[in-house]
Amino acid sequence: MKKAIVYINQFFGQLGGEDTADVAPSLHKGQIGPALAYQQELKDCEVTDTIICGDNYMGSHTEEAVSRILDFLSPLSFDIFIAGPAFNAGRYGVACGTICRAVKERFGVPVITSMNEENPGVEMFRKDVLILRGGNIASKMKQDLKAVAGLANKILAGEEIGPASSEGYFPTGHRHQVFISENAADRFMKMLRARIHNEPYVSELIVPKQDKVPIAPALKDLKHARIALLTTGGVVPVDNPDRIQSASATRWGKYDISGLDRLEGGVFKTVHAGFDPAAANADPNVIMPVDAMKELLKEGVYGSLHPYFYSTVGTGTTEKEAARMTEEILPLLKKDKVDACIMVST
């Protein structure tokens, strides 16, 4: 009989909600939560173990969490690894994608998960992991779980997996050579005819859409301009009150600098996981230059400084999540009549 291992987060692992999102990975013999349902849906396959990990722990201690889980799996024998479903839960989706890719790379076994199209984990991991199209909320659990189990059964039975359009997973970007009886000219004419008659068709060459942003005009009057500071460098108060993830961020923070001449180490820090944080933690102004901006303000170089800075983490963050966070921040800047922003990266 084949063997499967299931990964779930703290909520579906019945440990609790946000209050337990920081729990470290743990391995449990048998089935817990969704793993019980997977056991019922999988054919000739036993779910031998369930792994549970808090979403925050996976996001904030990714390397450690992945390492511990891979250590759990090393002595075990298994034929497939399943994670989720993650629905539209961003942290959970990123966690499922992260561990699925790591398991695939280390052990070479098939890995499957399920997410909603709005989940940032889709764009991050669809090239490396089979991600089935799922619902946006947990009430879709039954149908999403059945879909995952159905594809897992095909894989375990050694059946050929068809294209994304027929199997229900997100396109991976990989092309496979197939031989068909209809030549290119005939296929082209069918598509052309369908387009002329406003009928549905699928092109054989998918052209990705590009989000082109026009360059903003230069400020005409810097002396009277109101400037705001933003960063993707992850600078936050030391307690990280907004719980911004160290990678693949889905959150941002707004922090008051109206009474500060500079950011002090020990009061502010960076949670960014993409570089050595030592310099930024010692002097956060190297990423968020409040000190330089306050000096320039005193010298009259520009008119005024917006009283808050905005921060998130750029590494691994999807374009879709970045666009959403921008839409949430923009009204605050417009309300204060900000003329220009300085986006400080790393």
All structural domains of the chain with their residue ranges? 2-167, 222-344
Question: How large is the average pLDDT for residues 106-118?
Answer: 95
CB 45 within 8 A of CB 3: yes
For the segment 16-31, what is each residue's pLDDT rounded down to a tens digit?
988 899 999 999 999 9
Q: Quote the pLDDT of residue 173.
A: 77
**What one-character-per-residue DSSP string does 224-264 give?**
G-EEEEEESB-EEETT-TT---SSS----EEEE-TT-SSPP
Q: Quote the pLDDT of residue 28.
A: 96
For the segment 65-111, what is each residue's pLDDT rounded down to a tens digit?
999 999 999 999 999 999 989 998 888 999 999 999 999 999 999 99
Q: Percentage of the chain with pLDDT > 90? A: 75
Q: Quote the pLDDT of residue 214.
A: 87
Q: Which long-range contacts (CB under 8 A, 24 or more apart) does 139-145 make?
A: 140/85, 140/87, 141/34, 141/37, 141/85, 142/37, 144/84, 144/85, 144/87, 144/114, 145/34, 145/37, 145/38, 145/41, 145/85, 145/114
Q: Regarding predicted confidence, which is higher, 120 or 151?
A: 151
- From residue 39, alpha-carbon distances to 34, 69, 125 in Å are 9, 21, 25
The answer to whether the peptide bond before residue 214 is cis (omega within 30 degrees of 0) is: no
Q: Percentage of the chain with pLDDT > 70? A: 99
What is the spatial distance between Cα 185 and Cα 163, in angstroms, rounded to a whole number?
Answer: 22
Number of residues written out for the chain: 346
The answer to whether residue 226 scores a pLDDT higher than 90 is yes
Report the C-alpha dihedral over residues 266, 272, 277, 281, rounded to 10 degrees. -20
Q: Quote the pLDDT of residue 118.
A: 87
For the segment 39-49, what is each residue's pLDDT rounded down to a tens digit?
999 999 999 99
Question: How large is the average pLDDT for residues 151-165?
Answer: 91
For the segment 159-211, what is each residue's pLDDT rounded down to a tens digit?
988 888 888 999 887 777 777 888 889 999 999 999 999 999 888 776 767 77
Beta-carbon contacts of residue 58 (< 8 Å; ≥ 6 apart): 25, 65, 66, 91, 94, 95, 98, 99
Q: Quote the pLDDT of residue 208.
A: 67
What is the spatial distance between Cα 151 and Cα 46, in angstroms, rounded to a whole number?
Answer: 16
The answer to whether residue 316 scores a pLDDT higher than 80 is no
Q: Quote the pLDDT of residue 321.
A: 87
Question: How large is the average pLDDT for residues 138-158?
Answer: 94
Q: Quote the pLDDT of residue 276.
A: 87
Q: Quote the pLDDT of residue 81.
A: 98
Fold entry, domain 2-167:
Rossmann fold (3.40.50)
Find which of 66-75, 209-218, 238-247 is predicted with most confidence, using mean pLDDT.
Answer: 66-75
Q: Helix, strand, or coil here: 152? A: helix
What is the spatial distance between Cα 12 and Cα 14, in angstroms, rounded to a whole number?
Answer: 5
What pTM was estimated for this model as a whole? 0.63
Q: Quote the pLDDT of residue 247.
A: 83
Comparing CA positions, the residue from 120, 150, 105, 109 lying closest to residue 132 is 150
